[in-house]
Amino acid sequence: MNTFFNLKRFGLLMRQDLLLNRNKFLLFLLVLALAIYTMLVYLMIVTSPNYSPSIPYQGFVGTYKQLFVLFMIGLGVFVGSSFSDLSNKVKRSSYLQVPASNFEKFLYPFLLRGVLGTVLYFFIFWVVAQLARFSVLSIPAIHATGLKILSFEFSMLFMGYDFKNCIFIVLAFLSLGTYLYSIPLFFRKMALLKTIVSIFVVAFIYTVLMVLLTHLFYPNILGFEVHCDNYMVTKQNSNWDLLVYYFASISWIFLLLIGYFKLKEQKL
């Protein structure tokens, strides 16, 4: 177990990486915060004249939702670039010779970029959303109208969804994040770009397979169409619901395992 994971060795790996890359991480967080702030202020100013000043307009909830999901792309890029140094022969050799186990080398970026990065993103978005709201409401022209803008809360992101769908959304983002984290290890050049393209390739291959199965089991169906009988497995869930929930719930586990074993295969 000591060769697999050692807390002291893991701490030295963390310390070395933060010393080398702390400025890059801080710059990324600063750019992210400024971009979120600029977009929120702009959208609030542009849309505010259209709404009643006496009622906190629910449309601002939509603004928060859209920008939160939009800037999740930035978080995805941050997570997906965890092993970008492996595309460079010199940096790859240096990385693979770091005195740490393969598990530690795989776990550390996941904790730093995936877990801590997500927590920081949530925190930054909440702080910036509050600052943007106060900034807009302090503009004399808007302040004079008495316009009310709802304060951002994370519960807004799940408005209109029941508990089951909220869990599904969280797991779906987790699976997508682990895909962006692990699959770049299969590519040497432009790994993140190829990973994003591969998502659409996999979706297309899956669709073609479903079309072929449709024509096999339902010969009367013509064209590029997917057909499958829809039936209720439980009182509230159809077979399609359970299929989607199943993949969203477990795929991230297999993606992490695939990524770990692929990292072990890396050669100098």
Closest CA to 10 of 83, 87, 107: 107
| pLDDT score for 123 | 93
More confident of the two residues 165 and 255: 255
Q: Which residues contact 168 (CB under 8 A, 6 or more apart)?
A: 244, 245, 248
pLDDT tens digits for 55-85?
A: 655 567 777 888 888 888 888 888 988 888 7
Q: How far apart are CA 163 and CA 151, in angstroms?
A: 23
| Average pLDDT in the chain | 84
Domain parsing of the chain, residue ranges: 1-154, 161-268
Q: Mean pLDDT throughout 25-53?
A: 83
Q: Is residue 268 pLDDT above 60, yes or no?
A: no
More confident of the two residues 180 and 243: 180
Q: Is residue 86 pLDDT above 90, yes or no?
A: no
Please tell me the pTM assigned to this model: 0.82
Phi, then psi, of 52 in degrees rounded to 5: -65, 130
Closest CA to 60 of 120, 137, 124, 163: 137
Tokens of 153: 């809360």
Q: Is residue 257 pLDDT above 60, yes or no?
A: yes
Q: Is residue 91 pLDDT above 80, yes or no?
A: no
**Which of 29-43, 86-100, 246-260 has the lowest average pLDDT?**
86-100
pLDDT tens digits for 106-120?
A: 999 999 988 999 999
Closest CA to 245 of 163, 160, 181, 155: 163
| pLDDT score for 154 | 85
More confident of the two residues 234 and 122: 122
Q: Which residues of 87-104 are buried (b: 16+ CB within 10 A; e: fewer)?
A: eeeeebeebeeeebbbeb
Q: Mean pLDDT throughout 210-237?
A: 82
Q: Is residue 7 pLDDT above 80, yes or no?
A: yes
pLDDT tens digits for 156-188?
A: 888 777 777 788 888 888 898 999 999 998 888
Q: Which residues contact 228 (CB under 8 A, 6 or more apart)?
A: 210, 214, 239, 240
Do 1 and 101 touch, CB atoms closer than 8 A? no
Q: Is residue 24 pLDDT above 70, yes or no?
A: yes
Closest CA to 132 of 41, 62, 31: 41
